Structure 1
């Protein structure tokens, strides 16, 4: 897969802005009309950051894996409240979530290697 460095860098900047909840500064209408204004643009003061988002996503994947394991165990033990369909759906959900997590990790590693190989 050929990733252009400028494209990758701009995508990472956009992802960083989205993760931090920040948006590019908005130009005030008064500034456009030539009237000086003290407002520079509002920045979202959200306390969430990329690390927190990543941690919560990984916890969600872990929860799906745990739920799948519990349903498998309950079905194997003969619990009549758990059907085979529920077990298969939970297993599929956890499998898809784990595959997506691995792919995201691989993309991060690729991006990191690409950035580290860029000349300064």
Structure 2
């Protein structure tokens, strides 16, 4: 289980974005952004699945899983999901602002 999965993923994306050369067309940027967003969402999904798996193991009495492991995994999944919701809200706000601009 990765303890700092979302933070590491975001830092890696920041480093990757800073090391790339500017693109000539907007199409390349949008496809890269889409891939980056897809990876981030898949990471959140994997955190939630890991959390659920740990919860099930703990509920079944697996001695290899402690309550603290379950709670940490739950909180990480919760924080990652909340961050995803905030990113979605910002994207929707930006879209609405662009749609309201006069042409």
TM-score class, shorter: 0.7 to 0.9
- The secondary structure found in structure 2 opposite 1:87 is helix
Superposed counterparts of 1:94-113, under 5 Å: 94-113=77-96
Give the structure with the larger helix fraction. Answer: 2
Relative contact order higher in (CA < 8 Å, ≥ 6 apart): 2
Unaligned runs of 5+ residues in structure 1 are 1-17, 25-47
Residue 75 of structure 2 corresponds to residue 92 of structure 1:
yes
Structure 1 Cα separation of the partners of residues 100 and 89 of structure 2: 17
Whose Rg is larger? 1
The residue number in structure 2 matching 1:66 is 49
Deviation (angstroms), 1:75: 0.3
How many residues matched?
Answer: 81
C-alpha distance in structure 1 between counterparts of 2:33 and 2:80, whole Å: 19
- Paired with 1:49 and 1:23, the residues of 2 have a C-alpha distance of 12
Deviations 1:40-78 (A, max 9, x none): xxxxxxxx7111111110000000000000000100110
> Segments of 4+ in structure 1 off by > 6 A?
none
TM-score, length-scaled by structure 1:
0.62
Identify the match of residue 83 of structure 1 among 57, 63, 66. 66
TM-score normalised by the chain length of structure 2: 0.72
- 1:52 matches 2:51: no
- C-alpha root-mean-square deviation of aligned residues, in Å? 2.2
Gaps of 5+ in 2: 1-16, 24-30
| Rounded Cα–Cα distance in structure 2 between residues aligned with 1:22 and 1:113 | 29
